[in-house]
Amino acid sequence: MENLNLPTKNTWCPGCGNFPLLKSLKKAIVEIEKEGKKRENFVLVGGIGCHGKITDYININSFSGLHGRAVSLAEGIKIANPNLDVICCSGDGDSYNEGMAHLIHTAKRNTNITVIIHDNHNFALTVKQYTSTSPKGFKGSSTPEGSIETPINPLELMIASGATFVARGYSSKTEHLADLIKKGIKHKGFSFIEVLQPCVTWYNTLEKYNKSVYEIETEKGISKNRALTLASKWDYNSEKRIPIGIFYQEIKKSFEEEAFSRDGVKEKVEMRKLLKDYA
Amino acid sequence: MKEHSILIGGSAGDGSKKAGLIIAKLLSSYGYQIYIHEDYQSVIRGGHNFSLIRASNEKVLTHRDEIDLLIAFNEDTIKRHTKRLKDKDMVIYNSDAFEFDRGNGFPIETIAKNIGGLLIMKNTALVGAFAKTVGIDWNTLKKVLISELKVATDKNLLVAKEAYKTAQAKMKIPKLSSYKRPLISGNSAIVLGSLKAGLDSYFAYPMTPATSILNCMAQKGVKYGVKVFQPENEIAVANAAIGAAFAGSRVMIGTSGGGFALMNEALSFAAQAEIPLVVVNVSRSGPSTGLPTYGGQSDLFHVLSAGHGDFDRFVVAPGDPEEAFYLTQLTMDIAWRYQIPSIILSDKDLAECTYSFDLDSLEKYTPGKLSLWDRKGEYKRFKITKDGVSPIAFPGEKGAVVKATSYEHDEFGIAIEDEKTTKLMQDKRSRKFRSLEKEISKIKAVKVYGNKKSKTAIIAWGSVKGAAIEFAKEKNIKMIQPLIMSPFPEKQIKRALLGVSRIITVETNNRGQLAQLLRYYGIESKSVLKYTGRLFTTKELISKIKI
């Protein structure tokens, strides 16, 4: 795993949930490499927010994009070169707030990329504002009296949108998370991994998650309805117990596989021939 | 000049556009050079649409106000356009729809019905009547109909034959030659140019008047391996394209002003991450939704300044399909060699009007050499070089870790915040543009037409060039057209203006954007503007500009 490190200075807060998340990601990559995948065929995409710094902390191909657009950037890379394993790290502010449309549509298309959401339930890099997954009553710098909005449940949303691999992990459970990431990368289709990532500085959920998180094993061929019921067990707002693991998985042709199957039959461009259609 | 202008109009759903295209192809078969001006409203049924076909023995890039023949599906067309007629009796119309006391009416709906065809075949009947009226022989008509009407061809031929028999020859459009040129629109020329330049992917979200590029790519591009992708919005289009280019795909995206506005942030991202992002902006009449199916050159400032932060971009502005074809190849080449955002600024009239396209007279474009990584040592995506261009490598290449970012970064693509590296990178990027300026100074970025010795010059760009050229010829003055807007060809324009004492800039926008740009370079001109969504005609220029 050492050769995945870079000498870059890490600027995450001490104790940040991103550290174990990065560790899990590296572990997953190393394990997939052992199975014969080449290092140069991984691309890590990042968005904007604390999570986005991850591209500077790992020695693989990477592209850190605009706020909210990481998923689109990743999708473009995959379409251009389907041989690449594209992993897209994004945040709750990044992809649930700013870039929600891209997340939904890429899930709908089932493009074969792996999206990992570092969900710390707040805009941390801009100093604590509420996001789509902040609980009601969240006291942030823009909601001193507490947010009046109820959070969305990203797992329900992704299952409904057509994602073919939907999972939730917890950054502190690195082995479990590494396994989810590995399975997500190997899944052929849109893989969505929501990661509960405590923000120790602005919204420390570490203790809460340590207490309430439990692992689940879903049966193969789980129905969408059953997966939705599982996903609704915790609504991001209550103090209920929080299941982690794979919630839904389905085998379906990926977007780029279906859309660009004509690949490789590229005819030579001959202007006179082309212009015949216009005569 | 031997020329004929024919206007065919009706309401949306009548099939007047298709009939207009068939008429143009008939005249093209007779050796004429064609220009079809398309005018349609943002409706699917109803409203008023028309095509104005001008056929000439010389190259034509604009329409005339006067017409030789009016073909009307409905009375509305008669009311709107009879004043254009040189001979007020030269009218062909649908006598099933209305009565008219001049010209020749044909019961085109009855003809279609009697043959057992669909109602839409009334347009085939009208074409049949037209062909006879202007003396086009049946075999030519038959040939064109067979190639244009692939569905229910036999029925269509019967309908055409019936109308052809009924009609009488009223005027003679003589055959010039058997040399038939392809008829293409500005949008098609961009498609062809991009295919010629080795396009790998085309991403777009539908928006008039750029949509036909997307449709054409989906129909023709895929045969050449082009990956056509229609994501959820223009923001996704631009960001996915940046990802695709990063992964080595020669990608192009297309939109109109509103969609281009949504892509602004990505344009700036492409500049920072040094991504060759090729964007087609087919401008239309604004501001905002404006007149969605009408034209205008109101996006010059927009494309020149789009995107936050300081950065340079390459911008071309073709004025006809030949230029669109050539400049698209140039743009794709420049974008990749300099790794910069590059924009093809077209406009509605160029995009959707149809022109004779002469392959034999086309300038051949030879692309330059791409700076690729030599596979020696550690790969630095943003390596500092003399000309600012860093050798390129793509993810998947063994031995290279390719890192890019929207943040300011060091040579490896790792985010930085220190002053020294920031300046180094800002300077590196502007050095690329200085290198590009040098290259552009050696290619033809400005065209000159008309009387090159005249002390009076008009300057026009984009689709306005057609009327401007004819005006300049008629008045025996000089006409200057800039083809590249950024880096602005200041020296070439100033050279073209040597000895000129009176300069008139002609544009279809409200603020005189090119005139303001010229003023920035110390060139003062008088603006003649039109901003009604419609193109200038030569006649209008004659009445507005006193020479």
Q: Are the C-beta atoms of B107 and B90 separated by less than 8 Å? A: no
Neighbours of B427 (CB within 10 A): 12
What residues are paired with B276 via a beta bridge? none
Q: Where does a domain end: B336, B361, B386?
A: B361
Q: Which residues, in sequence order, are CB contacts of A207 under 8 Å at separation 6+?
A: none
Q: Which residues, in sequence order, are CB contacts of B79 under 8 Å at separation 6+?
A: none
Considering the domain architecture, whether residues B252 and B341 belong to the same structural domain is answered as yes
Q: Give CA angle at B214 (A88, A267), nearest 5°.
A: 90
Strand order in the sheet with B314-316: B227-229, B201-204, B251-255, B278-283, B342-347, B314-316, B484-486
Q: Mean pLDDT of successive 10-residue segments in chain B (547 residues)?
A: 95 94 98 96 89 97 96 97 96 96 96 94 97 97 96 96 95 95 97 96 98 96 94 98 98 98 98 98 96 96 98 98 97 98 98 92 90 96 98 97 98 98 98 98 97 98 98 98 98 98 98 98 98 96 96
Q: Where does a domain end: B426, B443, B460?
A: B443
What residues are paired with B6 via a beta bridge? B53, B69
Q: pTM for this one?
A: 0.97
Instruction: Using the structure block, give the residue that is written with the tokens 């010829």.
Output: B473
The ipTM value here is 0.98
Considering the domain architecture, whether residues B464 and B501 belong to the same structural domain is answered as yes
Coil, strand or helix: which one is B494?
Answer: helix
What residues are paired with A243 via a beta bridge? A214
Residue A41 DSSP one-character state: G
Instruction: Using the structure block, give the residue that is written with the tokens 């059953």.
Output: A226
Number of domains in chain B: 4
State the CATH number of the domain containing residue B480: 3.40.50.920
What residues are paired with B55 via a beta bridge? B4, B34
Burial grade of B178 (CB within 10 A; 0-12, 13-18, 19 or more):
exposed
State the CATH number of the domain containing residue B17: 3.40.920.10
What residues are paired with A118 via a beta bridge? A91, A195
Neighbours of B87 (CB within 10 A): 14
Considering the domain architecture, whether residues B454 and B474 belong to the same structural domain is answered as yes
User: What's the domain range around B523?
Assistant: 446-544
| Chain A partners within 8 Å of B413 (Cβ) | 62
* Chain segment A147-163, per-residue pLDDT in tens: 999 999 999 999 999 99
CB atoms B395 and A101 under 8 Å = no
Neighbours of B76 (CB within 10 A): 16
Q: What is the amino acid identity at position B415?
A: A
> Which domains does chain A show, CATH number per domain?
2-276 (3.40.50.970)
Neighbours of B262 (CB within 10 A): 17
Q: Are the C-beta atoms of B102 and B91 separated by less than 8 Å? A: yes
Beta strands in B402-540 (DSSP E): 403-405, 446-450, 456-460, 478-482, 484-486, 502-507, 526-529
Considering the domain architecture, whether residues B402 and B464 belong to the same structural domain is answered as no
* Chain segment A82-125, per-residue pLDDT in tens: 999 999 999 999 999 999 999 999 999 999 999 999 999 999 99
* Chain segment A183-228, per-residue pLDDT in tens: 999 999 999 999 999 999 999 999 999 999 999 998 889 999 999 9
Query: What distance in Å separates residue B451's CA from the closest CA in chain A?
Result: 34
- What is the model's pLDDT at position A2? 67
Coil, strand or helix: which one is A147?
Answer: coil
CB atoms B236 and A101 under 8 Å = yes
| Chain B partners within 8 Å of A272 (Cβ) | 359
Coil, strand or helix: which one is B484?
Answer: strand
CB contact A59 to B (< 8 Å): yes
- CA-nearest of A116, A138, A154 to A231 is A154
CB contact B218 to A (< 8 Å): no
Residue B13, in any domain of the structure: yes
CB atoms B357 and A101 under 8 Å = no
Coil, strand or helix: which one is A18?
Answer: helix
Q: Where does a domain end: B403, B418, B443?
A: B443
Listed by number, the residues of chain B in 261-290 with a beta carbon closer than 8 Å to a beta carbon of chain A are 265-266, 269, 273
Coil, strand or helix: which one is B336?
Answer: helix
Coil, strand or helix: which one is B416?
Answer: coil
Nearest to A66 among B265, B398, B402 (CB): B265
Considering the domain architecture, whether residues B151 and B196 belong to the same structural domain is answered as no
Greatest extent of chain B over all pairs of C-alpha atoms, in Å = 85
Considering the domain architecture, whether residues B250 and B151 belong to the same structural domain is answered as no
Residue B157, in any domain of the structure: yes
Considering the domain architecture, whether residues B156 and B278 belong to the same structural domain is answered as no
- What is the model's pLDDT at position A209? 98
Considering the domain architecture, whether residues B380 and B393 belong to the same structural domain is answered as yes
